[in-house]
Amino acid sequence: MGFLGSPSVASSYYSSSRVFLYPAAFVFWVLVLMNGAAVCNGGKTSTFVRKVEKSVDMPLDSDVFRVPPGYNAPQQVHITQGDHVGKAVIVSWVTQDEPGSDVVLYWSENCNEKKEAKGKHRTYKFYNYMSGNIHHCTLRNLKFDTKYYYEVGIGQTVRRFWFVTPPEVGPDVPYTFGLIGDLGQTFDSNRTLTHYEHNPHKGQTVLFVGDLSYADNYPNHDNVRWDTWGRFAERSVAYQPWIWTAGNHEIDFAPEIGETTPFKPFTRRYHTPYKASGSTAPFWYSIKRASAYIIVLSSYSAYGKYTPQYQWLEEELPKVNRSETPWLIVLMHSPWYNSNNYHYMEGDTMRVMFEPWFVQYKVDVVFAGHVHAYERSERVSNIVYNIVNGLCAPIRDQSAPVYINIGDGGNIEGLANNMTEPQPKYSAYREASFGHAIFDIKNRTHAHYSWHRNQDGYAVEADSLWFYNRFWHPIADSSSV
């Protein structure tokens, strides 16, 4: 659970009888504590201290990177939502030796009649790397809440997978989202994914908050590491959709080697259903899924006034009907609120542009990544500041979202364990560990949230909280005091 009622430092000091034996010492400690309370009334910094070790990518011959057997066998299979409401799925895969077939064969569990959908494929070049044939095919007009099997490949190398479509969109439809960010392909990345797969809460869809492969940490952004990441993640993403957010490690802007098209590998490999929500670029878009309305934003695309992303979001937020989708969730890569010195305030320029809308439209929760640690905020806003009024500190605001930083997938760059001191008031809980989270929607008013360290047992909830919906049940939920 959260940390409601956890004993404060002050009360433990007051209970020490020895203090009362020395009046001067007593006055001294009261003054120290009063001073401390004035500057620091933050939440909890976890006492769990993870051993700091270098994060190392798994070697190329690791079992999780294994190429499926057979000539030209489809690999790196992944799916994502393919429309606005969950009746379509984009299936993507790579054939390395030759194009092969663009067809996906699919059928529902209760019906043996097989259908075919035909997609397209293409390759791309990045410096001295040439990709395999990257296929994308959208399956449309699927039935809600139905298990489908699908096959890709031909001849001896057909591979079969399955997925379950979400229930029809509605206000009280339970649904369980997983949250993963900044995953990479280290031994810890593998541990995090395994923990997600074995979590008893059983996530049905992953909301991925950006930074996939970290291929750009290699010389010339070695895109072989995009391929290995695709094979590593397949064991989850071939069976349930991952909703993609673009992070800074997706930019792959490398003019020093002649690569000047931002997001080239990411956009060639990972498609999003952006057109279905009226977006003009794959980096910002929305989907409905069960009782949730999910808005994905791009920290690395223009968001100033009059820009395409700004205009889109301005028109998008009024469209959210909380009677249909009570839970309004926003994904972005660079967090607006965190208290880690790593990437501190990088998200602030976007916060300045969009935060008043998030409060106006009562966003329930914002998930971000980028900072390689875990943190959960109070419900705060900082929207009254106008340069001259001096009101520049965040304040408690029950119309504001909770901000959760889940950039702790476990990538090669390691943990961000240098936090600002004292812990600011807006920060409810923070810890430098790797892990993932679960957002488990029960109905229109309640969702259970839990964060799971990747070195605990699968069922252990290192941080958890009942979320109360901001539209239907807007009473206080997030609190560290």
Q: Of the residues 121, 201, 333, 343, which is catalytic?
A: 343
Decide: helix, strand or coil at residue 313: helix
Segment 357 to 376, residues that bind Fe ion, using CB under 5 A:
370
Site residues (CB under 5 A) for Fe ion, limited to 241-260: 247-248
Minimum CB–partner distance for residue 407 and Fe ion (Å): 7
DSSP character string of 110-163? T----EEEE-EEE--EETTEE--EEEEEEE-SPPTT-EEEEEES-GGG-EEEEE
231 or 370, CB closer to Fe ion? Answer: 370
Give yes or no for residue 405 binding Fe ion (CB under 5 A). no
CB of 409 within 8 A of CB of 434?
yes
Q: How many residues bind Fe ion (CB under 5 A)?
A: 4
Tell me 186's DSSP state: B
Residue placing its CB nearer to Fe ion in the complex, 370 or 379: 370
Closer residue to Fe ion (CB): 248 or 267: 248
Q: Are 243 and 294 in contact (CB under 8 A)?
A: yes
Q: Provide the minimum distance between the beta carbon of 57 and Fe ion in the complex, in angstroms, as a whole number.
A: 16
- Least separation in angstroms between residue 301's CB and Fe ion is 15
Residue 442 vs residues 4, 120, 327, 446: alpha-carbon distances, Å: 22, 38, 11, 6
Q: Is 73 helix (H, G, I), strand (E, B) or coil?
A: coil
Compute the Cα dihedral for 354, 360, 361, 363 and give only its sign.
Answer: positive
Question: Of 416, 408, 412, 453, nearest to 55 (Cα)?
Answer: 412
Nearest approach in angstroms of CB 331 to Fe ion is 13
Q: Which residue is nearest to Fe ion (CB)?
A: 370
3-state secondary structure of 225: helix
Question: Per the structure block, which two tokens stand in for 184?
Answer: 């990479």
Q: Site mask, Fe ion, residues 204-223, x = CB under 5 A? A: -------x------------
Nearer to Fe ion, 183 or 193 (CB): 183
Q: Which residue has the tokens 């009942």?
A: 466
Residue whose structure tokens are 């304040």 = 395
Q: Which is nearer to Fe ion, 121 or 370 (CB)?
A: 370
Rounded to whole angstroms, the Cα distance separating 358 from 402 reads 11
201 is catalytic: no
Q: How far is the CB of 300 from Fe ion (least distance, A)?
A: 9
Nearer to Fe ion, 148 or 367 (CB): 367
Report the nearest approach of Fe ion to the CB of residue 286 (Å).
22
Query: Among residue numbers 110 through 129, which ones bind Fe ion (CB under 5 A)?
Result: none
3-state secondary structure of 10: helix
Query: What 3-state DSSP class applies to 25?
Result: helix
Residues serving a catalytic function are 343
**Contact set with Fe ion (CB under 5 A):** 211, 247-248, 370
